[in-house]
Amino acid sequence: MALPTYATPIQRTYYYAYLFFCAVVFFFLIAPLIAIVPISFSVSPFMVFTEGMLAWPPEPEAWSLRWYRNMIGDCSAEVVSSTVPCSTKWMKGTVNSFYIGIIATFIATVLGTMAALGLSRPHMPYKALIMSILISPMIVPLIITAAGMFFFYARINLVYTFTGVILAHVALATPFVVITVTATLVGFDMNMVKAAQSLGAKPMRTFFKVIMPLILPGIISGALFAFITSFDEVVIVMFMASIDQLTIPKQMWAGIRQEISPVILCMATCLVILSIVLLTTVELLRRRAERLRGIKAR
């Protein structure tokens, strides 16, 4: 979108002001994420840019990997400082986060895909109602869902168990799968199902051989959404998990609340990288899906 050649000076001013404003907003969105990366490599135990880091020429002493080594549970003397004790909590949290995240993602993907398939049938009764109920965990504030689940799980003895946390995450993550898979199914030609069935394929076979390969991009991006939901989730974990179910977000929360330690920033940097990877995957999948549907880039 460029300015026409006949634009008046006032229009030009407005236009450049508008571009500048957008640039500021983009900066506002991204700057905090960028800022934490260099600080995580600092020697200092405080979360600030030290003078050494800003000096020119660069001073190698100001930079170090000590907090990263602390994060992975290395307890040697140069790693630990008086304010930052060494602990294995970060690694334990990572293991738990992946464990909970992967199981929850798997269940949510299976359930969500089935729900989306059912909901995209033209004659499904009470479609709107079911959709609203399915999507409700996305709209209801987490704190309410968490409180409700806590009360409910307390009655059936599921609080402070892995099962409880995983089930709660499944409930949160399923809507994302439903939405992405439904979106993919919009471009899906239902005649292919009929064709497969007329050729003698049973429903299961039809699904795995015909439907699934075609909607796979949708399923995968749904699964990634589900994973990131579970992986990021902290409110439910805070209420429903004991110390055994410590996850990365919970450890970060504890880290911010109690010891403001630079190790948090190391983990944050890792998470930013993880989100870049996931984002790229989803974008590539989306483009592939668009290509398949014949939408060309303008």
Partner 1 sequence: MPIGDMLLRSVDDSQINTVFPNTFEEYKKWDKEKDELPPEEVYKALFQELAYGDKIQVGRALTRMNYSKSGWKSLIKKTSREIKKVVKKEEFPDSYKEFLIETNEKWADPTYWYAMGQMVNNQTSIYYWNAIDRTFDQELNVVQQDEDRRVYVQTWLKTLKVSIYVTVFCLILGFPVAHLLANLPLRYSNLLMIFVLLPFWTSLLVRTTAWIVMLQQKGVINGVLVWLGILSDDGRIAMVYNETGTLIAMTQILLPFMILPLYSVMRVIPKSHMRAAQNLGAKPAMAFWRVYLPQTIPGMSAGGLLVFVLAIGYFITPELVGGKDGKLIGSWIAYHLKTTLNWGLTAALGAILLGFMLIFYWLYNKIVGIDNIKLG
Site for partner 1 in 175-204 (CB under 8 A): 176, 179-180, 182-183
- Using the rule CB under 8 A, give the single segment among 57-65, 78-86, 194-202, 233-241 that binds partner 1: 233-241
Binding test (CB under 8 A) with partner 1, winner from 190, 192, 279, 292:
279
Binding test (CB under 8 A) with partner 1, winner from 12, 21, 55, 124:
21
Binding test (CB under 8 A) with partner 1, winner from 107, 111, 149, 165:
149
> Is 87 within 8 Å of 258 (Cβ atoms)?
no
Query: Which residues in 37-96 contact partner 1 (CB under 8 A)?
Result: 39, 46-49
Query: Which residues in 116-145 contact partner 1 (CB under 8 A)?
Result: 128, 131-132, 135-136, 138-145
- How many other β-carbons are positioned within 10 Å of the β-carbon of residue 33? 14
The candidate with the shortest Cα–Cα distance to 40, out of 264, 249, 259, 255, is 264
* Sequence-separated (6 or more) residues with CB below 8 Å from residue 197: 203, 206
The residue (of 206 and 218) whose beta carbon lies closer to partner 1 is 218
Lookup result for tokens 């984002």: 279
Q: For partner 1, how many residues bind (rule: CB under 8 A)?
A: 75
- Using the rule CB under 8 A, give the single segment among 24-32, 61-69, 72-80, 102-110 that binds partner 1: 24-32
The residue (of 103 and 237) whose beta carbon lies closer to partner 1 is 237
The candidate with the shortest Cα–Cα distance to 63, out of 76, 54, 77, 53, is 53
Q: How far is CA 55 from CA 58, 60, 66, in A?
A: 6, 10, 20
Binding test (CB under 8 A) with partner 1, winner from 3, 25, 192, 292:
25
Lookup result for tokens 């895909």: 113
Binding test (CB under 8 A) with partner 1, winner from 13, 16, 22, 163:
22
> Is 105 within 8 Å of 171 (Cβ atoms)?
no
